[in-house]
Amino acid sequence: MSKLNGKVAVVTGATSGMGLDTAKLFLEHGAKVVLTGRSQEKLDAAAKDLTGDFLLVPAEASSTADSKNLIAKTVEKFGKIDILFLNAGIFRMEPLGNLTEEIYDEVMNVNVKGPIFTANEAVDSLNDGGSVIFNTSILNVKGFPAMTAYAASKAALRSVTKTFAAELGGRNIRVNAISPGPIDTPIYGKHNVPQDQINEMAGSFPAMVPLGRFGAGKEIATVALFLASDDSSFINGAEIPVDGGFAQV
174: in domain: yes
* Residue 205 placed within a domain: no
Average pLDDT over residues 42-68: 97
Query: CA angle, corner 57, sides to 51 and 61, nearest 5?
Result: 120
Check residue 195 and give its pLDDT.
65
Whole domain around residue 236: which residue ranges? 8-187+216-240
| pTM for this model (two decimals) | 0.94
Strands 174-180, 239-242: pairing is parallel
C-alpha closest to that of 7 among 87, 88, 56, 79: 79
Residue 199 lies in a domain: no
Whether 102 maps to a domain, the answer reads yes
Residue at 44 is within a domain: yes
Total tally of structural domains belonging to the chain: 1
150 is catalytic: yes
82-96 confidence digits (pLDDT tens): 999 999 999 999 999
**What's the CATH number where 56 sits?**
3.40.50.720
Assess if residue 110 is contained within a domain.
yes
Write the pLDDT tens digit of every residue in 107-148. 999 999 999 999 999 999 999 999 999 999 999 999 989 999
From the list 150, 164, 226, 246, the catalytic residue is 150
Is residue 196 domain-resident?
no
Asked if residue 167 is part of any domain, the answer here is yes
Question: What is the three-class DSSP state of 244?
Answer: coil
Contact (Cβ atoms closer than 8 angstroms) between residue 119 and residue 164: yes
Compute the distance between CA of residue 183 and CA of residue 243 in angstroms, rounded to an integer. 8
Give residue 206's pLDDT band: very low, low, confident or very high (50, 70, 90).
Answer: confident
